[in-house]
Structure 1
C-alpha cells in the first residue's frame, strides 16, 4: 500500500457496500501534511485521505464542503469520515488539473467556467465562515519579511524597511476592508481546480473565510503557477465585475475602482505567497515551490510599478529595488520573470 496506514484499507472497505478486489495506490500530495491514496475496486474508485487531526483542518473541510456544495460549487462527494484518525473517503474527481489544460486557445473558456464558480460563491451567504479580517491579512503579510527577506535572502528588516512595509500593509488592509464580504476559498487557482465531466470542481478549500470579493479572483487570474498578459487579466476581471453588478452585489465599486482593489488584493496575496513558498522550502523541505518565486515576485513588482501615484506603494517599491532586487540574481532558483 506504499505507506498507507495498516488500518486504512479495512476502514475504507467498511464505508462501501460491495468493494470487491479493493486496493490502495498512493497519489501525489500537496503543500500540507495530508496524504492521498486512490482506492480501486471492481466497478469503482474513490480517494482516501489521511489528514492528521493535529495538523489538518478536517472539521473545517467537512463544513466548507457542505457550504460550497449548497452554493452550487462542485466539490468532492463524501463516502465516510473518521474524525479521530483523520481518515476521509472522498469521491474520485480524477487527475485532470486545470493547469496543464490552460493554453492561449483554451484559457478564455476555462476561466469563464472558473469565474462562474466564483460568482456562485460571491452571491452565497458567508454563513459560519470566520472573518478574513485585518489580523488575518496582516499575519499573512508578515510571512514576507520573516521567511522571504530574512530567512531565504538574508535581508532582515531595518527601521526603514519596517516603516515602509507598515505603510504598505495599512494601504492594502484598508483596500481589502472596503470590499464586499463573500465566501473566499483562499487558494483558488489552477492546481486546485479539476476538470470533470460535470465541469470544473474545486478542492483544498478547508481554509475558506468570509473576506474580500477580489481575493479568489486575483488568485485565479494572477495564478502563482502560470501567467497571462495584463490586458487579458483585466478583461477577465471586468467581465467578473459585470456579472456581480448584474446580480446586484451590495457594496460593489465601479469597474475602475474594482480593478484597483483587484491589484492591491493581489499584492497582499503575492507578498504572502513569497513568504509561504520560502517557508515550504526552508522549514518543510519542499523545494519545488522555489521555481515559482520569480513569477510571484514579478507580480509584486509589476503591481507596484502600475500605481506610481500611491505613496505607500512607491516608497515600498524603492526599498524593494534597493534592498531586495540586487540579491535575486545570485539565488539558484532565480530567473528574470
Structure 2
C-alpha cells in the first residue's frame, strides 16, 4: 500500500508504473467518485508517451491515443451497464493496445487475466493506493516493489517518471525527475543465460556479453576520468537486484540529430576524436572499479568471433537461401576466415566499446571539449584491435555514412594515431579495419535476419542493403582476396 499526500504524488506513482506496461495490457482503476482515478491515469498516460492533456472520457467513454510504442485506450465505464462493452469494442481494445479502465466492475467478467488493479481510497488530501497484480502482473509488481525500495534508499522516493528507453539487451531505462533534477534508473534484472550452443556454454558467455553492472561501472569511470569523455556516472547501485541509478546525459542522440537535419560529418568527427582520446589514455586490460577492485576486460577471442560469424550461416541464409550445400558452405567459410583471424590475433589490442555508433552517442552541448561527446551502452566492451570501434562508427549499421566521409574521418583518426605513436603501422591498421569491418557486418546480417525471423522485428530488414554495401567496401581490400571470393560465391550483391 502507498500513502499519497498530493495529486502530484499520485500522478508520479502512475508514471513510475508505466515501465511495466506492455504493448497489450490492462490497468484497472477502482475507487469512489473523486478518489483520484483520472489523476493517476494522467501520470500513467503521460509517461507512456501520450502528449495530449488526458481528461476523463466520461461522456465519450473511450479516448484513444497513438504513441510511438503502442496504442493506449483510456476508458471511463461509469455510464455503461454490464454487456454494453460489446458496443465499444472493449475486447478488441484489450487485444490491440494498453487499456486503462476506470470503473472496471462493469466489465469484470471479460477483463484480461493479466492485469494490474489500482484501488484508490481516502478523503481530503490523503489517499491510500493498493496495487494488486493478476497473471503476469504478479511478477511485474514484485519487481516494481523492488525498484520502489531501491529509489527510497537512494533518496529518490516519489520521483516522477518522464519516459522510458530500452535497447537491444535486457536493460530498460527510466528517466526520473525530482526537485528539478533528473537521473536515469537502469533496470537490469538477472536473465537466463539461454540454451547451450557450444561445449555446454550459452551464446552470451562465448560472445562475452555482460550479465551485471560491474563492466558498465568500470568502463564508464575510465571514459570520464581518463579519456575525458562524458559517460553516465553510477551514483547508486544494487548489483544483486540489478538496479543502478546513473547520470542522465540527455536526449541529443546522434541518430536523432542527423534525422532532424544536423550534418553528420561534424558529429562523427567528434566521435572519431573521442576514439583517439580513448586510445591515447592508455587503457589497461584490468580496469579499476570505483569503490575497490578490478575488472578484467574479456578478450574478443577466436571463439567469440567464430560464434558471431556463424550467425550469418545460421540465420541470414534462411532469409536469402543459396543453392550451396550447407555443410560444404560452412566448411569453406571457416577455411576462408581462418588465416585472417590468425593474423588479427597477433596485432596490438586495446579496449573496444563494441557498439560505438549513432544510437549510443550523444551530443552534450552545454559541456566543453571532448566532454561534449556522450557515450552509452558499453557494458559489452572487449579487448581487441583498436580498428573495431572505428569501423563500428564509420560503417554505422543504422544510417548511411557516405564513402567519402568514411575515408576522410578514417584519415583523421590515422593522422592522430601517427602523431601520437611514431611506430603506428598504417598498412596493418587498414588491413585490420577491413577484416573487422567484414566480421562485424557479417554478424549484423545474421542478427538482423534473426530479429526478423525469430522475434518478428521486421524493420531491421530495411538496413540489410546498407550492411551489404559496407561489407563489399571491406572486401575490396587486397589482403582479403580469397575471403572475397567466398562472399561472391554465396552472397547477393544487390
**TM-score range with shorter-chain normalisation?**
0.7 to 0.9
Q: 1:41 to 1:253 in 2, by over 3 A?
A: same
Q: Secondary structure at the match of 1:187?
A: coil
Give the superposition deviation at 1:20. Answer: 7.7
Query: How many angstroms apart in 1 are the aligned matches of 2:265 and 2:403?
Result: 14
2:154 counterpart of 1:11: no
2:435 counterpart of 1:280: no
Q: Is the 8 A contact 2:361 2:376 kept in 1?
A: yes
Query: How many angstroms apart in 2 are the aligned matches of 1:259 and 1:132?
Result: 19
Give the superposition deviation at 1:60. Answer: 2.1
Q: Is the 8 A contact 2:164 2:173 kept in 1?
A: yes
Deviations 1:21-58 (A, max 9, x none): 52224413111111111111121111111111235332
Which of 420, 425, 441 is the aligned partner of 1:247? 420
Q: 1:192 to 1:325 in 2, by over 3 A?
A: same
**Matching residue of 2:410:** 237
The structure having more radius of gyration, on CA atoms, is: 2
Deviations 1:290-328 (A, max 9, x none): 221221122113433x246743123213312xxx429xx
Instruction: Tell me which moved more, 189-198 or 175-184.
Output: 175-184
Which of 343, 348, 352 is the aligned partner of 1:184? 352
Query: How many angstroms apart in 2 are the aligned matches of 1:68 and 1:210?
Result: 15
**What is the TM-score of this pair, normalised by structure 2?**
0.60
Deviations 1:65-110 (A, max 9, x none): 2233333232101121111211111111111101132389733321
2:170 counterpart of 1:33: yes
User: How many positions carry a matched residue from both structures?
Assistant: 318
Over aligned residue pairs, what C-alpha RMSD do you find? 2.5
More strand by share: 2
2:483 counterpart of 1:303: no
Q: Is the 8 A contact 1:13 1:22 kept in 2?
A: no
Which of 84, 105, 110 is the aligned partner of 2:267? 110
Aligned pairs (5 A) from 1:13-92: 13-16=152-155, 19=156, 22-54=159-191, 56-72=211-227, 73-92=229-248
Q: 1:210 to 1:253 in 2, by over 3 A?
A: same
Instruction: Tell me which moved more, 164-173 or 178-187.
Output: 164-173
Q: Secondary structure at the match of 1:85?
A: coil
Give the superposition deviation at 1:184. Answer: 0.6
**What is the TM-score of this pair, normalised by structure 1?**
0.85
Listed as ranges, the gaps of 5+ residues in structure 1 are 327-335
Q: 1:248 to 1:146 in 2, by over 3 A?
A: same
**Matching residue of 1:333:** none
Q: Secondary structure at the match of 2:351?
A: strand
Q: Which has the higher contact order (CA 8 A, sep 6+)?
A: 1
Q: 1:34 to 1:106 in 2, by over 3 A?
A: same
Q: Is the 8 A contact 1:167 1:312 kept in 2?
A: no
Q: Is the 8 A contact 1:53 1:86 kept in 2?
A: yes
Give the superposition deviation at 1:208. Answer: 0.4
Give the superposition deviation at 1:178. Answer: 4.0
**Matching residue of 2:484:** 314
Query: How many angstroms apart in 2 are the aligned matches of 1:157 and 1:32?
Result: 34
Q: Is the 8 A contact 1:308 1:314 kept in 2?
A: no
Q: Is the 8 A contact 2:170 2:189 kept in 1?
A: yes
Q: 1:283 to 1:81 in 2, by over 3 A?
A: farther
Query: How many angstroms apart in 2 are the aligned matches of 1:297 and 1:192?
Result: 22
Query: How many angstroms apart in 2 are the aligned matches of 1:15 and 1:219?
Result: 36
Query: How many angstroms apart in 2 are the aligned matches of 1:291 and 1:136?
Result: 27
Query: How many angstroms apart in 1 are the aligned matches of 2:483 and 2:236?
Result: 49
Q: Is the 8 A contact 2:173 2:184 kept in 1?
A: yes
Instruction: Tell me which moved more, 285-294 or 91-100.
Output: 285-294
**Matching residue of 1:262:** 433
2:381 counterpart of 1:208: yes
Query: How many angstroms apart in 2 are the aligned matches of 1:141 and 1:71?
Result: 33
Q: Is the 8 A contact 1:176 1:261 kept in 2?
A: yes
Q: Is the 8 A contact 1:36 1:49 kept in 2?
A: yes
